[in-house]
Amino acid sequence: MIELEGLPSLDQPVLVAAFEGWNDAAESATGLVDHLLQHFPGERFADVDPEDYYDFQVNRPIISVGDRGVREITWPATSAYATSISGRPDLVVVRGIEPSMRWRSFISEIIGLAFELDVERVIVAFSNESHES
What pTM value is reported for the model? 0.81
pLDDT of residue 80: 93
pLDDT at residue 130 greater than cutoff 50: no
Number of residues in the chain = 133
Cβ atoms of residues 31 and 93 within 8 Å: no
Q: Hey, what amino acid is at 44?
A: R
Check whether 133 has a pLDDT greater than 60: no
Nearest-angstrom CA–CA distance, 84 and 26: 27
pLDDT in tens, 45-77: 999 988 889 888 888 888 999 888 889 888 888
Residue 94 has a pLDDT of 92
Q: What is the pLDDT of residues 76-119, one digit of tens each?
A: 889 999 988 877 888 999 999 888 899 899 999 999 999 999 99
Query: Kind and range of the H or E element at 73?
Result: strand 71-74
Sign of the CA dihedral with 64 first, then 106, 24, and 121 last: negative
